[in-house]
Structure 1
Amino acid sequence: MSKIKKLLVGTTIALGAFGATNSMANDGEALYTAKMCQTCHGAEGKAPIMPLYPKLNGQNKEYLAAQMKDIKSGKRTNGMSAAMKAMVANVSDAEIDAIAEYLSKVK
């Protein structure tokens, strides 16, 4: 196989994997479940398991995303953010945005 052909095949595979990640990031409801958010915040973000945990449904998406990103970066350290830090450590910004978008639409 020529070098150009190998490069094109490698690029196609990489772009395919990137596309799969992006399509997953577009499904906030599935990500909410896959990332175990419901464990503490309840189904659809409506029923937290402890009074200290916030209800997430219907919140402004920019606010939700900012809070998750601030916890992930360490910028936010108050409240129960220490418990959340491990949960958002492996959640990409695109996935955070998708989850925030989903939660903002749940009534």
Structure 2
Amino acid sequence: MKIKQFVFASITTATVLASGSVAAADGKALYTAKMCQTCHGAEGKAPIMPLYPKVNGQSKEYTLAQMKDIKSGKRSNGMSAAMKAMVASVSDAELEAIAEYLSTIK
């Protein structure tokens, strides 16, 4: 089942990227396709280690700022070195869609 979900998310992400726009509704697919759940858990609620934050329920602006700061190197504390590699190839529009998705999860 997980392979089917991954394939679906990958196809959805490819379609979104090919269309040139990333909508907030695509944040869920991007969260999976970009492997965010690997460390932060399903819906950002269950990190695999206590050092990793729960990322659900924060404001979109806060989450987006944190991801952008990690990507740019402005934020380099804690476990951000591991995160920097993960967000290196994620576009700003994709980061925004993921942040929007996570902000809706309580």
Q: TM-score, with normalisation over the residues of structure 1?
A: 0.79
* In structure 2, distance between residues paired with 1:38 and 1:84: 12
Q: Gaps (5+ residues) in structure 2?
A: 1-15
The 3 A distance-change label for structure 1 pair 18 and 30 is closer
Deviation string for 1:24-72 (max 9, x for gaps)? x211000000000000000000000000000011011100000000000
Identical residues among aligned pairs (%): 79
| Residues 77-92 of structure 1: pairs in structure 2 closer than 5 A | 77-92=76-91
Amino acid at match of 1:88: V
Amino acid at match of 2:99: A
User: Does 2:77 align with 1:93?
Assistant: no
Tell me by how many angstroms 1:20 deviates: 1.2
The 3 A distance-change label for structure 1 pair 20 and 71 is same
Q: Find runs of 4+ consecutive structure 1 residues off by over 6 angstroms.
A: none
Match in the other structure for 2:20: 21
Aligned-residue Cα RMSD (Å) equals: 1.4
- SS in structure 2 of the partner of residue 66 of structure 1: helix
Match in the other structure for 1:55: 54
Q: Gaps (5+ residues) in structure 1?
A: 1-16
* In structure 2, distance between residues paired with 1:90 and 1:73: 12
**Length, aligned pairs only:** 89
- SS in structure 2 of the partner of residue 68 of structure 1: helix
Which of the two has higher C-alpha Rg?
1
